[in-house]
Amino acid sequence: MTFFLLILPPLLAALLAWLVRPYRSWVGWVNASLSLGSLVAALVLAAQAMNAATAPTWGFAMGSLNLEDALRVDSLAALILICVAFVATLTLFLSPGVGGSKRFNAAHLRRYQIFINLFIAAMLLAAAANNVGVMWIAIEATTIFSAFLIPLRLTKASVEASWKYILLGSVGIALAFAGTVLAYFDFFAFFGRVETALNWSELVTMAPRLQPEVMQLAFVFLVIGYGAKAGIAPMHTWKPDAYGEAPPTLTALMSSALFAVAMYAIIRWKTVVDVTLQDHYTDNLLLALGLFSLVVAAFSVVLATNYKRMLAYSSIEHTGLICLGLALGPLGVFAGLLHLFNHTAAKSMMFLLVDTIEQRYPTPLIASTRGLLKTLPWTGALFAIGLLILIGLPPGAIFISEYGIFRAGFLRDQPWLMGAALLLLAIVFVAFINHMNHMLYGETPAEVTGGERFNWRLALLLPSVIVLVVLGLTLPAPLATLLNQSVAIIAPGN
């Protein structure tokens, strides 16, 4: 029943939006309320996964079709589900068409509600799927559903961004498919036809008997493929364009929830390949990609002229940090997963604030977005707090997870790597402070009207700020348990 409550609400929401024509604002409210069901289900599954000896599963058998463990939620999957469900609920309540919208007509809003909910359902399925093939299909579906929303308002730039996203995303997912097929045929060569061959639990159990050379090649394809969805450099080039043109509410999901799902796929496969190889092959690859992502992000942030693109480059920076953490042993994995959780809360909040800024200022250029604290005092203050948290200032949660990553690096005798990463973070820090000062202060453009009252939309973002500050001061026991159990899944025996 819990699994139905997890997946069914966004599907019902998409169906409701499709059936009601023309679009009515109550549809948005109903759909946002339905998303609370998925959030509750994710929390319940997380509690069950933490407290049960075996992970909760769901499935069915029909004739020769055996899907008894089609869905399975252990602590690692539960962590990702919470990230997706939380951001989905927040985004749907703050989406255009909930409480009215002056920027989009009824046809736009109907299309938005259909595909944003299908996008959410695909991400939830990807995280809950026990079968790597089902997970691959679900992640491919996220590309299709989100591509319909990037050009919600048809412009040349938005259509180009959508096609670029489709092209790079499809190439990436094709490479991920190639890696999955390689791993399956390696399994098939040793064990023959096994109905559960593509289940995570089965793959990890049989991994010691798989061919190391084949799994090395498979992992390269998988990292490149799913890394394209996550935005790991150099597979990141779609991100600035898509984030710059998509509706900010969609970008809030793509930059946090979709990113978490793509990293989850890489982490799952890393676990299997590590058992097969028994060496640091995956760690070395992730260290190289993580450092390169930091290099690309640092110099891109310095040159950024568009605040939406600036936040896209920030996502690439945090992708690099998470890759570093995942390659630095159990302590690094713990810090990397915590950083993934923190980044989800921070980046989704930032893009939801961007939605308000974009409605008031005619252009997303940093040079034209002046006097934000005068024009939108509440939004500007939250935006400043979010930026300071993103660049790692205490008492923000990201400071703690970054500290954990660097501590793990120094304990693993990687001083030069950590030193280079710290230098790159310093560059990002200075660039962000410079861009933030340009946006917050100065004279408001003549065509921009000032004034803002605290409202329910801003109130919905306050929990994100509270979570990010609280996690910078303490780590609640349930989250610590979830993270520790996830580390035991990813790096057993280390």
What is the residue-wise DSSP string for 210-234? S-HHHHHHHHHHHHHHHHHHHT-TT
> How much is the pLDDT for 160?
86
Rounded to whole angstroms, how far apart are CA atoms 98 and 29?
6
pLDDT less than 70: residues of the chain? 53, 59-68, 99-102, 188-197, 493-494
Contact 83, 44 (CB under 8 A): no
> How much is the pLDDT for 64?
47
What's the Rg (C-alpha) of the chain?
22
Nearest to 90, CA basis, from 457, 357, 479 = 457
Question: pTM value?
Answer: 0.95
pLDDT above 90 as % of the chain: 65
Nearest 5°: the CA angle 80, 86, 87 is 95
Span 167-204, pLDDT tens digits:
888 888 899 999 988 887 877 666 556 666 678 888 88
